[in-house]
A and B are shown apart, each in its own frame.
Chain A
């Protein structure tokens, strides 16, 4: 064995050991990050999953025409204005005839949600023939009852410290033996807007708000960013002072704290241009500003990585610069551009701070039907709910986080599918 071979052999052991160590650390870091992810997901889902179920109470309601003051031939307006709360109260009274005292009476009324009267009203308007009969209806239970049914209120705690008093426990037990309490899938969470009452609060307003905001953001930032990137990469004069300055500014803007964009939106869009605050339009405008630098930087990298041999081939055949751009450069850069767009959009979807500045933190109960309707977005909704004192909002906060993550996963899946479609191999 020659001297050199010996030397190499001596070093080999060390080299392998270093390699092994490196691999071990790599594996370790993956394990650690995976553990954190697992902890996060299990905490959120263990807290949030109960929110996908909701307690309902079955009541036998006598739709007394005298109490309601309407009959089958009444106008829509009269049917709409009748006092349905009263018949529900009467129904509860007949079921629990021994309730005495103002406090207990109010507690009895609060077994069911305030929305029960509206649900009943809708049923009657849909079918006025119900008037005068006694029917069974399932109504939303009040959030305290719901919390108790989900085991979030401990009956062993002294009565004074408990949200559910002893007499209420008796009612619940009676309802349970009569099989009038049931947990069902919580459709309200997906079909209603925000509400001060936890059992009536839903995510639809926030989901639609996020959807409209994302649409505005995408249709503004994607074409502008791709056009800017293509111009800077393919057409802008090189070694030009202005171009250099624009490039530096774009790179710096990507690192600007997002709340600054909110302040900019407040000063320019709202104060100067008078765009209505708290709408998906203004939210989308601000978030588009925020995600532009990210998409531009990623798109430029993608455009730069298109092999120049392909562009030269097209030019050599007589393609004009625009034809080269649209027929070769952009299609080949599209996977990279889409990756950048996903990152930018995901960032925008989860952004709260700049939206606080432009009024999207307002309480909006209605579901928006367009970009000009006041609305909130999902991360802001999460922020609002996490701030609410009612216990039922805690699980709803986690449920909202789960829905937000689901929204994100869907968005990414869509983008990955698009990327696969554009990918070319050579």
Chain B
């Protein structure tokens, strides 16, 4: 296995497995011995992690540490990259999500995703939210669909702002509104897990605060995994925090423990700003 390259003080420390508590009793999703390769290059090394029911788990780490790649393992988004190869066992409610009989389309309906850059379709707000429901035939008539769209927008905290403009283009909204539209779109198909890949990195602090509030409410119904570059955000929204480093999972612990009393030296170096 290739060893780490040095880019700063306290960066080049050996990692021997994950410290902390990567496993939980009430796991919604879980990975065992997860390796990810891009062609011949290994991006993720032997990750073992559980994501508990109704928890928000934050994944932090320096750029290129593999946290986004790992997130995309969980809804098989990496399938769209031909050179990407995923190994190990990955489960959703004890079902193997990489099994032959697992349909990736169904999996992605159960494990929704919100991306870094707000990416509404160039369609109306209504059609954006209704897209997933139409795709999977969730509403049998127009009024059911109307209700679903309204409920999703309310859950995403966007309904008040757009209720009179549902037929306007989703791309005409502000950045923060667009991201909440994307969240509404994701929860309209009623997923069990929502994966968020740096959902607020393109937003201003006010929009960020709105979305963080929203996440806290969503936790009642959904399990959320969020990748973030903002340690404050991880501290604010999550119950558990996972620290990734050079494709390895270094430490998983309760969030307040990670930020006050990290177990691993690398974690401490990262959160105290020695590198990253």
Chain A interface (Cβ < 8 Å from any Cβ of B): 237-238, 307, 309-320, 323, 328, 332, 424-426
CB distance from A304 to the nearest CB of B (A): 15
CA distance A359 to B157 in the complex (A): 69
Give chain A residues whose Cβ lies under 8 Å from the Cβ of B136.
318
5 closest residue pairs by CB, A with B: A426-B171, A424-B122, A316-B113, A309-B119, A318-B109
A315 touches B77 (CB 8 A): yes
Question: A317 with B119: in contact, given A312-B80, A425-B171 (CB under 8 Å)?
Answer: no
Give chain B residues whose Cβ lies under 8 Å from the Cβ of A312.
77, 80, 113, 115, 119
A318 touches B105 (CB 8 A): yes
What are 30 of the A-B contact pairs (CB < 8 Å)?
A: A238-B82, A309-B119, A310-B121, A310-B122, A311-B80, A312-B77, A312-B113, A313-B120, A313-B185, A314-B121, A315-B77, A316-B75, A316-B112, A316-B113, A317-B109, A317-B112, A317-B131, A317-B132, A318-B109, A318-B132, A318-B135, A319-B105, A319-B135, A320-B105, A323-B135, A424-B122, A424-B171, A425-B169, A425-B171, A426-B171
CA distance A132 to B169 in the complex (A): 76
Q: Which of A309, A318, A328, A426 contacts B108 (CB 8 A)?
A: A318
Size of the chain B interface, CB-CB below 8 angstroms: 28
A315 to B, closest residue via Cβ: B80
A309 touches B117 (CB 8 A): yes
A-B contact count (CB 8 A): 67
A320 to B, closest residue via Cβ: B105
Mask, B179-191, CB within 8 Å of A = 1, is 0001001100100
CA distance A332 to B121 in the complex (A): 10
CB distance from A306 to the nearest CB of B (A): 10
Give chain A residues whose Cβ lies under 8 Å from the Cβ of B186.
316-317
Give chain B residues whose Cβ lies under 8 Å from the Cβ of A317.
108-109, 112, 131-132, 135, 185-186, 189
CB distance from A216 to the nearest CB of B (A): 34
Give chain B residues whose Cβ lies under 8 Å from the Cβ of A426.
120, 122, 169, 171
CB distance from A331 to the nearest CB of B (A): 9
Mask, B133-148, CB within 8 Å of A = 1, is 0011000000000000
Q: Which of A310, A424, A425 contacts B119 (CB 8 A)?
A: A310
Q: Is B83 an interface residue (CB 8 A)?
A: yes
CB distance from A356 to the nearest CB of B (A): 46
Give chain A residues whose Cβ lies under 8 Å from the Cβ of B80.
311-312, 315
Q: Is B206 an interface residue (CB 8 A)?
A: no
B136 to A, closest residue via Cβ: A318
- Interface-central residue, B109, B113, B122, by most chain A CB under 10 Å: B122
Give chain A residues whose Cβ lies under 8 Å from the Cβ of B122.
310, 332, 424-426
B80 to A, closest residue via Cβ: A315
Q: Is B1 an interface residue (CB 8 A)?
A: no
A238 touches B119 (CB 8 A): no
A312 to B, closest residue via Cβ: B115
- Interface-central residue, B105, B113, B119, B189, by most chain A CB under 10 Å: B119
CB distance from A322 to the nearest CB of B (A): 11
A321 to B, closest residue via Cβ: B80
Q: Which of B75, B83, B121 contacts A313 (CB 8 A)?
A: B121
CA distance A11 to B226 in the complex (A): 51
In chain B, residues 47-102, which have Cβ atoms closer than 8 Å to a Cβ of chain A? 75, 77, 80, 82-83
Give chain B residues whose Cβ lies under 8 Å from the Cβ of A314.
121, 131
A328 touches B121 (CB 8 A): yes
Question: A313 with B182: in contact, given A238-B82, A323-B135, A332-B122 (CB under 8 Å)?
Answer: yes
Question: A316 with B115: in contact, given A238-B82, A426-B171 (CB under 8 Å)?
Answer: yes
B113 to A, closest residue via Cβ: A316
Give chain A residues whose Cβ lies under 8 Å from the Cβ of B108.
315-318
Give chain A residues whose Cβ lies under 8 Å from the Cβ of B113.
312, 316
A319 to B, closest residue via Cβ: B135
- Interface-central residue, B106, B108, B182, B185, by most chain A CB under 10 Å: B108
